[in-house]
Structure 1
Amino acid sequence: MMSVSGIRPLFAGVSRRWLSAQAAAQATRETQPLPKQDAQVSKLGSGLTVASLENYSPISRIGVVVNAGPRHETTDNLGISHCLRSFADLSTKHATGFAITRGLEDVAASLETSTTREHQIYTVRCMRDAVDTGVHYLNTITNGQEFRRWELRENKGRLTFDLATIKDQLPLRVMDDVHSAAFRETLGRSAYAPEYMIGNHSTDMLLEYVQQHYTAGNMALVGVGVDHSELTKLAEQFEARTGSGAVKQAATFTGGAELRNQCGGDFSLAAVAVEGCASGSKDALALGILQHMMGAGPYIKWGSNQAASKLTQGAGKATSLPFSASCFNLAYSDAGAFGVFAVANAEDMDGVLKGMMKEFGAVTKGNISSKDFERAKNQFKAAVLMNSENQDTLFEDLAVQALNLGSYSSPADLAQQIDSITADDTLKLAKKVFNGKPCMAASGNLGQTPYMDQLM
Structure 2
Amino acid sequence: MMSLSGFRPVFTGLSRRLFTAQVAPATQSADKPALPKEPVQVSKLSNGLTVASVENHSPISRIGLLVNAGSRYESTANQGISHCLRSYAHLTTKNATTFNITRGLDDLGASLEATTTRDHMMYSVQCLRGHLDQGAAFLQNATTGQQFRPWELKDNRQRLYFDLASIKNQLQIEVLENLHSAAFRDTLGRSLYAPEYMVEKISTEMLMDWVNNMYTAENMALVGVGVGHDELKAFGENFELKTGPRNEMPAAKYAGGEIRKQQNSGFAYAAVGVQGAKLNSKELLSLGVLQHLMGTGPYIKWGSQIASSKLTQAAAAATTVPFSASCFNMSYSDSGLFGMFAITHADQMGAMLKSMMKQFGAVTKGNMDAADITRAKNQLKAAILMNLENQSTLLEDIGVQSLMNGSYVSSADLVNDIDAITGDDAVKIAKKIFNGKMSMAASGDLGNTPYLDQLLSA
Cα distance in structure 1, aligned partners of 2:306 and 2:31:
51
Cα distance in structure 1, aligned partners of 2:66 and 2:42:
14
Cα distance change on mapping 1:159 and 1:23 into 2, 3 Å: closer
Equivalent residues of 1:52, 1:224 under 8 A apart? yes
Cα distance in structure 2, aligned partners of 1:23 and 1:280:
46
- Structure 1's unaligned 5+ residue stretches are 1-21
1:26 Cα deviation (Å)? 6.0
Structure-2 residue corresponding to 1:248: 249
1:302 Cα deviation (Å)? 2.4
TM-score normalised by L of structure 2: 0.92
Structure-2 residue corresponding to 1:327: 327
Over the aligned positions, Cα root-mean-square deviation in angstroms equals 1.4
Equivalent residues of 1:347, 1:447 under 8 A apart? yes
Equivalent residues of 2:68, 2:247 under 8 A apart? no
Cα distance in structure 2, aligned partners of 1:28 and 1:154:
56
Q: Which amino acid aligns with 2:139?
A: L
Matches within 5 A, 1:169-318: 169-255=170-256, 257-318=257-318
SS at match of 2:289: helix
Structure-2 residue corresponding to 1:119: 120
Cα distance in structure 2, aligned partners of 1:75 and 1:26:
64
SS at match of 2:238: coil
Equivalent residues of 2:381, 2:418 under 8 A apart? yes
Cα distance in structure 1, aligned partners of 2:212 and 2:333:
22
Cα distance change on mapping 1:353 and 1:108 into 2, 3 Å: same
Cα distance in structure 2, aligned partners of 1:237 and 1:332:
31
Cα distance in structure 2, aligned partners of 1:216 and 1:390:
27
Cα distance in structure 2, aligned partners of 1:226 and 1:277:
32
Cα distance change on mapping 1:345 and 1:216 into 2, 3 Å: same
Matches within 5 A, 1:267-416: 267-416=267-416
Q: Which amino acid aligns with 1:72?
A: Y
SS at match of 1:57: coil
Cα distance in structure 2, aligned partners of 1:223 and 1:172:
30
Structure-1 residue corresponding to 2:97: 96
Structure-2 residue corresponding to 1:12: none
Cα distance in structure 2, aligned partners of 1:363 and 1:289:
12
SS at match of 1:317: helix
SS at match of 1:231: helix
Equivalent residues of 1:48, 1:220 under 8 A apart? yes
Structure-1 residue corresponding to 2:47: 46
Of 26, 29, 38, which residue of structure 2 is paired with 1:27?
29
Structure 1 stretch displaced more, 78-87 or 101-110: 101-110
Matches within 5 A, 1:413-428: 413-428=413-428
1:130 Cα deviation (Å)? 1.2
CA displacement, residues 315-344 of structure 1 (integer Å, 9 cap, x when unaligned): 111111110000000111110110000001
1:214 Cα deviation (Å)? 0.3
Q: Which amino acid aligns with 1:260?
A: R
1:218 Cα deviation (Å)? 0.5
1:265 Cα deviation (Å)? 1.6
Q: Which amino acid aligns with 2:97?
A: T
CA displacement, residues 85-140 of structure 1 (integer Å, 9 cap, x when unaligned): 00011100111110111222222211111111111111111011111111112112
1:155 matches 2:156: yes
1:242 Cα deviation (Å)? 0.7
Structure-1 residue corresponding to 2:9: none
SS at match of 2:373: helix
Structure-2 residue corresponding to 1:442: 442
Report the number of matched residues. 433
Cα distance in structure 2, aligned partners of 1:156 and 1:75:
20
Cα distance in structure 2, aligned partners of 1:300 and 1:145:
46
1:249 Cα deviation (Å)? 0.6
Cα distance change on mapping 1:377 and 1:150 into 2, 3 Å: same
Equivalent residues of 1:264, 1:446 under 8 A apart? no
Structure-1 residue corresponding to 2:80: 79
Equivalent residues of 2:323, 2:343 under 8 A apart? yes
Identity of aligned residues (%): 59
Task: Determine which structure has more spread, i.e. the larger CA radius of gyration.
Answer: 1
1:25 Cα deviation (Å)? 8.5
Structure-2 residue corresponding to 1:145: 146
Structure 1 stretch displaced more, 360-369 or 101-110: 101-110
Equivalent residues of 1:214, 1:245 under 8 A apart? no
CA displacement, residues 396-418 of structure 1 (integer Å, 9 cap, x when unaligned): 11111111121111222111111
Cα distance in structure 2, aligned partners of 1:310 and 1:389:
28
Structure-2 residue corresponding to 1:105: 106
Structure-2 residue corresponding to 1:133: 134
Q: Which amino acid aligns with 1:142?
A: T
Q: Which amino acid aligns with 2:435?
A: N
Cα distance change on mapping 1:100 and 1:434 into 2, 3 Å: same
Q: Which amino acid aligns with 2:451?
A: Y
